[in-house]
């Protein structure tokens, strides 16, 4: 028994924050942002929406794409580091907004690797015979943890959501393997200091802007390239496959130079690498999901293709999977 993606959808808020807008907010330039990151614009969630709202819209599109009734879903996994609240889980909020009840729902915090972690969790529950159809949502409002006075981080991030329906399949297709990794040793390279149990919110934490993301960009850059390239190599090797068998690689969209570095180290030509970073920046867990949806909808993925998704994020975490695409169209 296997598990495959039978429906995929994404949702991007309409409001665009361009490099020209950022030039008016911090000491930066369109030229610096484009050459150092590849990003031209990103989407921003409206004030009256939260991650769950973006996730619900993506989920509805995935349900329609899968041509199932939402009542067939027997679990919801939500990958997010920008949960609506500390608790309850955003997955429970999404369940309620979809009009569902009495199915297990939980969040996972694996940052940018969250969608791939979520797909593997769904695959495992399905292969174990515990579930038949699982909704995996990756929903992020990164703008809510972004310090728009810090030019080193605010140019990188955006908001968005992606969702997939994973279902039981009898054939040897779908998600054929996943490689998940993490190292808490490097947790201090990318984190939000305040707002958790270690440093609850006080006037001082707010004044010191400690509820915003802190990042050591250049250290992360090096680790990201190596961790993603190693993840691709390891998952190919243990499946007795070589890089030339991959039809399309969908990497996390953090920086075009990271993506190019991964392509080079894995001997995968850039024509086989899906890139949409220029439109959305880094949407954490949502990035690879949105990229997968766009790749499918733009005809870049066909039934039978071998797809590799690979990501890297806070934790640090990294993850890759191999998918034999089994859906028509
Ligand atoms: C953040 C990142 C784009 C910075 O690019 P970089 O080439 O490493 O640049 P550096 O950090 O070395 O900074 C170079 C200079 O640009 C400046 N700079 C940083 N951000 C800038 C901006 N938005 N506009 C203009 N200049 C900027 C720095 O202050 C520095 O100036 P200095 O040399 O006078 O000190 C890059 O390191 C990166 O993408 N890292 C990974 C981040 C990431 O992926 N995070 C999420 C993981 S999921």
Q: Of 143, 171, 199, which residue constitutes the final position of a domain?
A: 171
Same-domain pairing of 105 and 146: yes
Round to whole Å and give the CA distance between 257 and 225: 9
Pocket test for ligand 1, best of 29, 115, 147, 221 (most atoms within 8 A of CB): 221
In a domain, 202, yes or no: yes
Minimum CA distance residue for ligand 1 atom 44: 254
Residue 34 Cβ < 6 Å to ligand 1 = no
- The pLDDT assigned to 254 comes to 98
Residue 221 Cβ < 6 Å to ligand 1 = yes
How many domains would you assign to the chain? Answer: 2
Instruction: Report the share of the chain in percent with pLDDT over 90.
Output: 98
CA of 218 to the centre of ligand 1 (A): 7
In angstroms and rounded to an integer, the radius of gyration of the C-alpha atoms of the chain is: 19
- The pLDDT assigned to 271 comes to 97
113 Rama class: left (phi>0) / alpha (psi -120 to 50) / beta? alpha
Residue 51 Cβ < 6 Å to ligand 1 = no
* Reported confidence tier of residue 329, pLDDT bands at 50, 70, 90: low
Pocket test for ligand 1, best of 153, 217, 277, 280 (most atoms within 8 A of CB): 217
- The pLDDT assigned to 100 comes to 98
Same-domain pairing of 147 and 279: no
Same-domain pairing of 146 and 245: no
Q: Of 119, 150, 171, which residue constitutes the final position of a domain?
A: 171
Which whole number is the average pLDDT over 266-287?
98
Same-domain pairing of 9 and 146: yes
Instruction: Report the share of the chain in percent with pLDDT over 70.
Output: 100
CATH number at residue 292: 3.40.47.10
Ligand 1 atom closest to Cα of residue 111: 48
Ligand 1 atom closest to Cα of residue 112: 48
CA of 180 to the centre of ligand 1 (A): 27
Q: Residue 247 pLDDT more than 80?
A: yes
Give the single-character DSSP code of 55: H
CA of 221 to the centre of ligand 1 (A): 9
Cis check: omega of the bond before 316, within 30 degrees of 0: yes
Same-domain pairing of 21 and 35: yes
Q: Residue 171 pLDDT more than 90?
A: no
- The pLDDT assigned to 1 comes to 84
Which whole number is the average pLDDT over 281-290?
98
- The pLDDT assigned to 328 comes to 78
Q: Which of 146, 140, 145, 150 is nearest to 195 (CA)?
A: 145
Same-domain pairing of 124 and 76: yes
Which whole number is the average pLDDT over 229-239?
98
Q: Of 171, 188, 222, which residue constitutes the final position of a domain?
A: 171
Same-domain pairing of 13 and 156: yes
Same-domain pairing of 164 and 242: no
Q: Give residue-wise pLDDT tens across range 2-18.
A: 999 999 999 999 999 99
Same-domain pairing of 37 and 93: yes
Same-domain pairing of 185 and 107: no
Q: Residue 26 pLDDT more than 70?
A: yes
Q: What is the mean pLDDT of the chain?
A: 97
- The pLDDT assigned to 172 comes to 83
Reading across the β-sheet that carries 133-141, which strands appear in turn? Answer: 2-11, 159-169, 133-141, 75-79, 105-108
Which whole number is the average pLDDT over 6-31?
98
Same-domain pairing of 24 and 100: yes
Domain coverage including residue 240: 176-324
Catalytic residues: 112, 252, 282
Same-domain pairing of 29 and 160: yes
- The pLDDT assigned to 170 comes to 76
Q: Give residue-wise pLDDT tens across range 48-106.
A: 999 999 999 999 999 999 999 999 999 999 999 999 999 999 999 999 999 999 999 99
In a domain, 329, yes or no: no
Q: Residue 121 pLDDT more than 70?
A: yes
Q: Which of 320, 166, 329 is nearest to 252 (CA)?
A: 320
CB 73 within 8 A of CB 104: no
């Amino acid at each position: 028994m296997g598990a495959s993606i039978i429906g995929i959808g994404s949702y991007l808020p309409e409001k665009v924050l361009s490099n020209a807008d950022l030039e008016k907010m911090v000491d930066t330039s369109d030229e610096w942002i484009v050459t150092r990151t590849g990003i031209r614009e990103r989407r921003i969630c409206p004030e009256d929406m939260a991650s769950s709202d973006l996730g619900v819209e993506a989920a509805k599109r995935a349900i329609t794409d899968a041509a199932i009734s939402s009542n067939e879903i027997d679990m919801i996994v939500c990958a997010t580091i920008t949960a609506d609240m500390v608790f309850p889980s955003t997955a429970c909020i999404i369940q309620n907004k979809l009009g569902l009840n009495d199915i297990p729902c939980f969040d996972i915090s694996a940052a940018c690797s969250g969608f791939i972690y979520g797909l593997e969790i769904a695959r495992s529950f399905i292969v174990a015979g515990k579930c038949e159809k699982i909704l995996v949502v990756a929903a992020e409002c990164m703008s809510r943890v972004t310090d728009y006075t810090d030019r080193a981080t605010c140019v990188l991030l955006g908001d968005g959501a992606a969702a997939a329906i994973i279902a039981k399949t009898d054939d040897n297709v779908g998600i054929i393997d996943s490689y998940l990794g993490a190292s808490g040793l490097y947790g201090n390279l990318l984190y939000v200091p305040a707002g958790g149990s270690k440093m609850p919110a006080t006037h001082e934490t707010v004044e010191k802007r400690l509820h915003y993301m802190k990042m050591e960009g250049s250290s992360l850059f090096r680790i990201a390239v190596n961790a993603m390239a190693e993840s691709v190599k390891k998952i190919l090797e243990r499946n007795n496959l070589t890089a030339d068998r991959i039809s399309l690689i969908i990497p996390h969209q953090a920086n075009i130079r990271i993506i190019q570095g991964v392509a080079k180290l894995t001997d995968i030509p850039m024509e086989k690498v899906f890139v949409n970073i220029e439109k959305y920046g880094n949407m954490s867990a949502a990035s690879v999901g949105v990229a997968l949806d766009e790749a499918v909808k733009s005809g870049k993925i066909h039934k039978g293709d071998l797809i590799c998704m690979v990501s890297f994020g806070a934790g640090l975490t990294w993850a890759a999977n191999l998918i034999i695409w089994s859906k028509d169209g």
